[in-house]
Amino acid sequence: MPNEKTLGARVGSRLPTPWKSETGLTVSLDGRPDHKSLKPATAWATVEMPTRSRGPMESTTRLQMSAHGVEGKRTVTVNRTVKTTLSRLDVQLDQAINIDRESHGAHELRMRTSQTFRVTSPRTRTSVAATASRNGHDPWRTSIAIEQPLRKALNLSARVESDSGSERKARLGAKYHFSW
């Protein structure tokens, strides 16, 4: 029976820049008694640019990077969020681009992108979201969703998904959350 104990440490520091920026290292051990228990360390960095405001519109951009070991996976992610209020409705656009390479010797980069446009009524808390996403050369996947919180701990939701002309999938759901 394998030993399921794991240990990990994450150390990092904020950088002395006017932007919110951090860098660090994550190291983990999987509990095996041999010399192979040390997994490659992951170096990471995050930069969050200051929120820009133009009238009622706010824009935030965040950049994250990571490198797993000397020859492992490399990842760069850029997230951008734009928020505003139009005719008593909160409007938000979230955009994300993720580029990664599996290993140091690999020449192929993989790219994932997604965009979500969300409109929320602050009065009723009803939210409608449309999302488009694509993974590499795969077809675009789209979805439209509606969420309605009924009480503090009860949320109803419905979602319709499609991947570029093929079958559509629909989901209805209710979530209940209870906090002690």
- Give per-residue pLDDT as tens, 3-35: 566 777 888 899 888 889 999 998 877 666 665
CA dihedral 170, 78, 65, 12 (to 10 degrees): -100
The tokens describing 5, both together, are: 């104990």
Residue 1's pLDDT is 42
Q: Which residues of the chain register pLDDT less than 50?
A: 1-2
Q: Give ∠ CA 163-168-171 in degrees, rounded to 5.
A: 115
What span, in angstroms and rounded, lies between the C-alpha atoms of 72 and 151? 46
Q: If we measure between CA atoms, which residue out of 108, 106, 105, 129 comes closest to residue 119?
A: 129
Please give the structure tokens belonging to residue 74: 């490399």
- 158: phi then psi, degrees, rounded to nearest 5: -140, 145
Which residues, listed in sequence order, are joined to residue 130 by a DSSP beta bridge?
A: 117, 144
Overall pTM > 0.85: no
Q: Alpha-carbon distance 90 to 146, whole Å? A: 14
